Amino acid sequence: DTGVSQDPRHKITKRGQNVTFRCDPISEHNRLYWYRQTLGQGPEFLTYFQNEAQLEKSRLLSDRFSAERPKGSFSTLEIQRTEQGDSAMYLCASSPPQVQETQYFGPGTRLLVL
Amino acid sequence: AQSVTQPDIHITVSEGASLELRCNYSYGATPYLFWYVQSPGQGLQLLLKYFSGDTLVQGIKGFEAEFKRSQSSFNLRKPSVHWSDAAEYFCAVGAGNNDMRFGAGTRLTVKP
């Protein structure tokens, strides 16, 4: 049983560039979540999917942020026109249909915007 | 919406000593409660969870937590801390939907 995986683990980019992160959930987990975590804080919910449907996106931080899960398996989170304030750890989690309240987290993608 | 407070930003304990990390939540109904641990640069690992039933829950790595409705608390405990327990600990509260709120975390340092 492999856990949630995220790619890349680290990303350094220049301000104004677009970045895309990938998350592969645990097999057969139908829910997938994205969080942002800044230094010294707990994770902050961004959005989530049930299968391919994005059921909550009002808490994405701005219209520069978007997420997809086209086939209900892996998901991507894109940040357009990155700003220095976007520097953070981006965490992905998934949960199984039987116990949807329990989320299992991936290792995260650490983004640094210069 | 639910919220979580972890009053202690940083705690230092000696190896072998007991540990208690505090967590207070705010939510109108019975919440789903979680403790996660995060090592530096890593994701979060689930230690334990409470949904209903016995208010004392056992988790991995020798941790336990007790749900006290009257105090709106879900404190994490371990009788004897190991050096490998040094990490950041997060309490979280869920409302039975996607909306899980995390506390700001407590950083645990273990002295030899």
- Model confidence over A5-48: pLDDT tens digits? 999 999 999 999 999 999 999 998 999 999 999 988 999 999 99
3-state helix, strand, coil in chain B (%, to 5): 10, 55, 40
| Contact flag B43-A56 (C-beta cutoff 8 Å) | no
Residue B84 makes CB contacts below 8 A (sequence gap 6+) with none
Residue of A nearest to B91 (CA): A42
pLDDT at A56: 82
A25 has a chain B CB within 8 A of its CB? no
pLDDT at B99: 76
Residue with tokens 């139908």: A30
Q: What gap in Å lies between CA A93 and CA B45, rounded to an integer?
A: 11
| Contact flag B36-A48 (C-beta cutoff 8 Å) | no
pLDDT at B31: 85
- Asked which of A67-76, A90-99, B24-33 is least confident by mean pLDDT, the reply is B24-33
Residues of chain B with pLDDT under 50: none
pLDDT at A40: 86
Residues of B in contact with A42 (CB under 8 A): 4, 90, 92, 102-105
pLDDT at A1: 54
A91 has a chain B CB within 8 A of its CB? yes
The shortest CB-CB distance from B43 to any of A45, A55, A105 is to: A105
Instruction: Single out the residue of A47, A56, A38, A60 nearest to residue A93, CA to CA.
Output: A47
Two tokens, residue B6: 């972890």
Give CA angle at B3 (A104, A34), nearest 5°: 35
Q: What gap in Å lies between CA B112 and CA B94, rounded to an integer?
A: 36
